[in-house]
Every structure is written in C-alpha cells, then in structure tokens.
Chains A and B, each alone.
Chain A
Amino acid sequence: MVELISIATKAIFVENILLAFFLGMCSFLACSKKIETATGLGLAVIFVLGVTAPVNWLINHYLLRDGALAWLGYPNVNLSFLQFICYIATIAAMVQLVEMVMDKFTPALYQALGIFLPLIAVNCAILGTSLFMGTKGYDFTESTVFGLSSGFGWLLAIVAMAAIRTKLQYSNIPHGLRGLGITMLITGLMALGFMSFIGINL
C-alpha cells in the first residue's frame, strides 16, 4: 500500500507528466484559458488514463511482450514491435467512448471542449503514460495507480495554469510575448516550483 502511495505522489508531484516530461503540452496550451474548460478536460484525461493504462498493460502482458503468447502455446513469439499501433488503437477507441458518454450526459461540457475532445487521443500524456509504465516495469495495480495519478498531476497543472492566465488578462505584457510566449515562461516557473518536491520519499 505504501508503495502505491509512493508511486502516486511521485507521478503527481515529483515527476509531473507535464512539467517534468513535457507531455500533453498542446492541449495544455490550447485549453488553459478558462478554468471550467481546463477542469473538464483534466477530468476527461484522468478518466481516459485510468482506463487505458490497465487495458494497455493487459495487452502488453498477455499479447505483445517477449514470450507473452506462451499461454497460447507460442513461447517464442515476440510481438513487441506492434506496441505502438496497439496502444494507440486502444486509446483512440476509449476516447471515442468518452466522447459518446459525454455527448449524452454532459452536453454543455461536450460543446465547451469541442475539437479538443477527439484530440485527447493524440494527447502525448496518454500514450506517454502507457509507454512509461512499460519501461518502469509496473504490475497491473501499479499501472492503474500510475495512470490515474499521472492524470491527476496533469489536471493539477492545467487548472493552476488556467487560474494564472485568468489573472494575467489584466497585466500589461510586451506585445511579442503575449499568448504563447508568456505561457511558456510561466510554465517554466511552475516547473521550477514543482521541482522543489524532488527528494520527497515515502
């Protein structure tokens, strides 16, 4: 249990998927203008991550990795080169599902997220988490926790950014720096802040 909490805190604060690994920047920059949109997108990302991380783990463990097909009687088969295409197919299917559920139950949020909902499929944070958990050698429960807490870390970062940008509307920024420029600088400062969590161990 302590180990799981340790994985979670590490994924949320110390190795924040956005601020330490730069994953999911595109939607982070595009959707961080309003807090409501940011929260909605963040929750959708948590959900998609919470589903895709365990599913991709199962796919990798029972179908793709070296010797994974032993249960079918093919212990010498290594399909790990199919990893990318399988992962992305799972993710795209899950996103489609989330889209349909949202359209049915929360149409307002669905309208607000607009084009960015299908773009969760190409959010690097999702595919990145699936690939990272492979390199880190997590088991099933650990992967699920890792997926959910990565998503939570992403939500934290985007909501904080949206809050800062709302305040920023009233400040007088040099013309060339407005928009993307100042957002990158602030993200840099936020990353600096999150680096102070380094060294926290449970």
Chain B
Amino acid sequence: MSVAEAVVEVQAKAKPDWFGKKQKKTLTDPFWDNNPITLQVLGICSALAVTSQLKPTVVMCIALTIVLTGSNFVISVIRRHIPSKIRIIVMLSIVSTLVTLVDQILKAYAFDMSKELSVFVGLIITNCIVLGRAEAFAMANKPWPSLLDGLGNGLGYSVILLMVGFGRELFGSGSLFGFQVIPQALYDMGYVNVGLMVLPPGAFILLGLIIWVQKQSSKQFEE
C-alpha cells in the first residue's frame, strides 16, 4: 500500500530535482518506516543464513546493496523496452549478470569470504527484494529515483541484517567482528554463551522480536 503511494508520489514529481524532498524520502523511507524486510516482507531468506557472524553479514549487505542499486537503475533505463510478458526473465538475467560480477570480484579479492558465504551470494538473484523493487518501483519510475530507491532499500535491508548479526554474534559467541567483547571475568562468574543464537532457530526468534519492536514503534499493525 505504502509502496503504491510512494510510486504515485514520485511519478507526480517529474521535475528534474536531484535531491528534493521526495527524492530524500525515497532514499530514507526504507531505512525504518517502510523497511523492506520487516514491513514489506521481502528478502528474509538470505537475511538469516549469513548473520551468525558480523563479518559475512557486512559483506552480504554490501553485495546486495550494489546489486539492488545496479539492477534498479538498469531496469529503469530500459523499462519501456521490456515486453511485459517476459519481463521476469529479462529482470532475472539482468540481476544474475550483476550477481555473477559481484561473485567473481569476491572470488578474486576475498576468496575466504566467498567460500564462507558459499551459495548465498548466488542466492541474491532470488532475493525477493531485488525482484520486488524492480517490479514495484523500477518498472514505473525514472532511472534516478529508481537508483535512490535501490540504494535506500539496500541500506534498509542492511540495517536489519546488522541488527540480527550483532545480536547473534554478541550473545552467541560473545564477540563482535571476531573480537572478544564479553570479558573473561564474566565467564568466570558463570556466564555462558547462548548457543541457540548461532543455530537457525535463534535467527528466526531474534528477527521475530525485532519485527515486534519495529511494528510497535512505527505503529503499523496487521490484523
């Protein structure tokens, strides 16, 4: 619903205004008030698999933001030339080209990280955020707002991912980015890492709680 409103708003604003209010809104709305993960329910799949440590989480966020910004821009540029019947295949091939690029770059410059993320880099292709934003925004808007929308949603995704990654690494292994942050003294007093946080169920439950906080604070309730 709010997506449709955003579309109408940006369409109405056809003037070449590069950093106007509307543009800013397109960029910053997805950070919290219209977050792609918690409110639009897009892209949860990969959000959870890579978040047991912060380092792969950050790499994943960067990779997704690049792909999303790029795909939104490219699709928006050629949106008038895509026949609507085969648009999904066209979008998928654009996205998978970008993902292949990111994957090759990761393999060349950060091989360990690429091994750690394994299939999840490839799964950016089927990340619902990318196709969802292409379909909902890039197909109906000019390249510049689409680029901002892609960037905004990528960063909004990153916000939630970093929150989940932060919680899981801190409580699950007592460290952040691999550095021990919970002091040894606490362990001596009997503190134990919450092993559940590293396992899949921990991710589901933590994300569920974040969604709760998010909805409570932005007052967007479902019935």
Contact = CB atoms under 8 A, between A and B. Distances in A.
Contacts of B11: none
B204 A176 contact: no
A83 to B, nearest CB: 8
Given A23-B123, A180-B38, A187-B204, A81 B212 contact: no
Contact of A118 (B48, B88, B128, B212): B88
Given A22-B45, A85-B93, A176-B215, A122 B119 contact: no
Nearest to B204: A188
> What size tier do the contact residues of chain A reach?
35 or more
A187 B223 CA distance: 19
A191 B125 contact: no
Contact of A81 (B100, B203, B208): B100
Contact of B45 (A26, A92, A189, A192): A26
B100 A84 contact: yes
B5 interface: no
Interface stretch (B55-63, B150-158, B183-191, B194-202): B194-202
Nearest to A132: B119
A163 interface: no
Contacts of A89: 89, 92-93
B131 interface: yes
Q: Which among A29, A84, A121 has the greatest number of chain B C-beta atoms within 10 A?
A: A84
B34 interface: no
B208 A182 contact: yes
A81 B47 CA distance: 24
Given A26-B45, A122-B128, A188 B208 contact: yes
A132 B221 CA distance: 37
Interface in A20-54: 20-26, 29-30
A124 B126 CA distance: 5
B45 A23 contact: yes
B207 A184 contact: yes
Given A21-B49, A124-B126, A135-B118, A81 B104 contact: yes
A41 B38 CA distance: 23
Contacts of B93: 85, 88-89
A19 interface: yes
Given A25-B48, A188-B205, 11 more contacts: A29-B44, A84-B100, A85-B97, A88-B96, A89-B89, A122-B88, A124-B123, A124-B127, A176-B216, A185-B209, A191-B199
The 9 closest A-B pairs by CB, nearest first: A179-B222, A188-B204, A184-B208, A176-B216, A188-B205, A185-B208, A131-B119, A191-B201, A176-B215
Interface of A: 19-26, 29-30, 81-85, 88-89, 92, 118-119, 121-124, 126-128, 131-132, 135, 174-185, 187-189, 191-192, 195
28 contacts: A19-B200, A25-B45, A26-B43, A26-B44, A84-B100, A84-B103, A84-B122, A84-B125, A88-B92, A92-B88, A127-B126, A132-B119, A176-B215, A176-B221, A177-B215, A178-B222, A179-B221, A180-B211, A181-B209, A181-B212, A184-B211, A185-B204, A187-B208, A188-B208, A189-B201, A191-B199, A191-B201, A192-B196
